[in-house]
Structure 1
């Protein structure tokens, strides 16, 4: 019999409606799962079983009256630590952060609460969100449930680990260069970086988005129906569209798909990853899509420039801290940011300009395709205690070559599992589409999900 903690959000809402299940029983099952797994995974922070139980009771009462609050009423879920929830501090994974409790919910948390979601707590992240790793100066080391000696990725580290482990079916991450898609790929789940502005966030910043992280594409789409609702606090958000998020059917015949296997910079794609992505491309072709290889369209100048700008942006915050607080920051992060103190204005400006260079390159490369598929990352996951797959603060972004450009081009991109290494570690397939075609990307992912070979059982922790 399937454990209640492993049911999808779509299954739960259907069962609540028919009164076959209660949010109270489901929430208790998820709490039991978290209490059993957390000593090993360290995916959660501010875990609050009492508040979750109370929210579940209120949800049960609404369902008994036939008056659910919204599309995810009674569904247990987590929210990434950097998305403010009222009354909880926002440490950003960093021991030097201010621990003042947030005065109100950020947009994604507010929409979640309004729709009746049962918030279990927050998920962990690395210092200042600037690592693709579960390493943090504030939290214990987050681990990947597929193999506890490996990394869940980041910066939505806890969210990726929690989703794979079954800490409820819905999770929210954030992404400015791959921070949803990379842990999704390395944890074998579905992670959507929506079009820039599709989900309102606060504070907003160029390239930064929030998005759902789930085990299934349908759950991802269901959560998008909630998270994409408007919020005036985000002055960069898109006009609200009432999209048919749960209409996920797509005829692949005639769809033009680019196959992108060489990013143009970064680590080379490892053979097992390449083979898995090529096998996915064959499935699309066999279903009638037109799959064509595309040439690299990014380069070293672009990522090195963005690296300079991001270092300067982080150093602006770190340099204002006391020496005592600076010493609390993860040494890898401090070593990365500190180099920005010697940059001049031209260094920073030309770095910032590479955001536009990436944008134009990505849009041009994709203008004749409906979608492009690629590896989510060039490699499978890596040792748990490393800060990145290269583990060198002066080469910090060799692994984000396939993910970062979509943040700059504002295009929706999703990671879905496309196979496993010989050691049983998940491999991510990235699918990205034209700006604002979030629904098309979800439909492509659902089509692939329906075609792919049988998946391994979700990991369990002894």
Structure 2
């Protein structure tokens, strides 16, 4: 039998249905691999062994009776530590939180349990998900299983590293500025930030309507299977969309012929790694072979204005932490988070209002773009995975590159769906991601495009991390 830890959720589901593998066998294999591998990458900060084995036994009985709750019944899933799981500490990756067990599941967790998925572990995040890499004063540095000297990205870096390392094929991340898509790119995964409100969230994120909950998997099909579960409405979400009875796993079938696709290599005046540019450009050409009409175009909104609007939204939200915790404990924050929160205090009311105006203008600009083009293709991240433990990669002339992730946050501002799909490995053997975005509510089209592209450009996973 194949190593169960290296199979996708869809592959496990087929084996369960045929009686060739069981949820108990899978859960035991994942737990055993976690005990061997997690110390190398620090992807999971809490593992619930006995409850997960109990859930696996219950799932096994359902499959034996031919009555699984869903195709992901009995599939292990990890949950980012910013997302509530009943009975687990709501740590937010911070030394300052009280670590009291959560008294209720977040909507995505509740829906996954209802679908029979085995919620077995909590994955690491940067503190309050504030940056695009994953390390925190609470849990230390999380590492990329493709190369443990590199970052897995963030803030859902633990989720990305876990799936890439075979510590459960499914993971829940959150995305306030790219935190599902950046680690998906750095770890060779498919991850989607759906249309805002499609996946209910509770409690409300500190970053408000920038933040989204989303799946991170090895395939678009697994993302679709997860979306079928987690996109169900929940009254606790203040911004939830109306119920959508779409079967995403079915909707990702079909060809891409005659779609009009805009390809944007740069969103503005920022550097792009030469290998990132080459692989993403090659991917855009592959869409032409899939029957699309691809045009190289410019982003519809000025990058400096978009970037400033996002930074104001983000830092103005983070400054709330300075009021939530006593000043005597502020030195316990990640120094980068503390600096960001203090920077948020410098913005005036007029700055915030102007940023809101810019956000509306940006959203309209992208709406008009997607009225003309069915899809947007771009890099997910402008750089390759860089050194673990650093907040920023080295840029031109040896200076810190503060513009290393210019592509993802625009779709948090505009609320459009966007996914990352792997488009190859660099010469150093590091994954590079292609971002695919589309108009509002076209989540299934984004996943279908990711699925069709990945079929023509599959990324074969070794068992990671590879022993040296």
The alignment's TM-score, normalised by the length of structure 2, stands at 0.94
1:15-414 matched pairs, under 5 angstroms: 15-204=15-204, 205-247=208-250, 248-265=252-269, 267-296=270-299, 297-389=301-393, 398-414=403-419
1:426 counterpart = 2:431: yes
2-side partners of 1:238 and 1:134: how far apart?
A: 30
- For the residues of structure 2 that align with 1:292 and 1:155, how far apart are their CA atoms? 32
- Does the 8 A contact of 1:306 with 1:352 survive in 2? no
Q: Which moves more between the two structures, 149-158 or 195-204?
A: 195-204
> 1:461: Cα distance to partner?
4.0
Q: Which residue of 1 aligns with 2:462?
A: 457
Please report how far the alpha carbon of residue 397 of structure 1 lies from its aligned counterpart in structure 2 after TM superposition.
Answer: 6.0
Are the aligned partners of 1:309 and 1:349 in contact in 2 as well (CA < 8 Å)? no
- Call closer, same or farther: CA 1:397–1:439 in 2, change over 3 Å: farther
Change (3 A) 1:111 1:390: farther
Structure 1 residues 447, 349: closer, same or farther in 2, change over 3 A?
A: same
Q: CA deviation at 1:453?
A: 5.4
2:421 equivalent to 1:416: yes
Deviation at 1:274, TM superposition (A): 0.7
Q: Could you list the per-position Cα deviations for residues 73-94 of structure 1 after superposition, in whole angstroms to 9, with x for gaps in the alignment? A: 1111101111101111211111
Structure 2: which 5+ runs fail to align? none
Change (3 A) 1:409 1:337: same
| Residues 173-205 of structure 1, C-alpha deviations (whole Å, 9 max, x = no match) | 111110000000011011011111111111343
CA distance in 1, matches of 2:188, 2:227: 20
- The offset of 1:160, in angstroms, is 0.5
Structure 1 unpaired stretches of 5+:
none
Q: Secondary structure at the match of 2:440?
A: coil
> Normalising by the residue count of structure 1, what TM-score does the alignment of the two structures yield?
0.95
CA pair 362-397 structure 1, distance change in 2 beyond 3 A: farther
DSSP 3-state at the match of 1:69: coil
Distance 1:443 1:411 in 2: 16
CA drift at 1:309: 2.9
Where 2:135 maps in the other structure, the secondary structure is coil
* Distance in 1, Cα, partners of 2:259 & 2:409: 24
Residue 286 and residue 461 in structure 1: after superposition, are their counterparts in 2 closer, same or farther (change >3 A)? closer
Q: Give distance in 2, aligned partners of 1:458 and 1:427.
A: 18
Quote the offset at 1:425 in angstroms. Answer: 0.5
Q: What are the Cα deviations for residues 332-388 of structure 1, in whole angstroms up to 9, with x where unaligned?
A: 111122123333221232234332233223223332001010000011111101123
The one-character-per-residue Cα deviations of 1:262-285 (angstroms, maximum 9, x if unpaired) are: 1125x3111100110111111111
Give SS of 2:261's match: strand
Q: Tell me if the contact between 1:79 and 1:172 (Cα under 8 Å) persists in the aligned partners.
A: yes
Cα contact 2:45–2:122 (8 A) shared by 1: yes
CA RMSD of aligned residues (A): 1.8
Q: 1:458 deviation in Å?
A: 4.6
Structure 2 Cα separation of the partners of residues 454 and 199 of structure 1: 27
**Conserved 8 A contact 1:416-1:430:** yes
Q: Is the 8 A contact 2:77 2:120 kept in 1?
A: yes
Distance 1:458 1:274, change over 3 A: farther
- Give, in whole Å, the separation in 1 of the partners of 2:319 and 2:230: 31
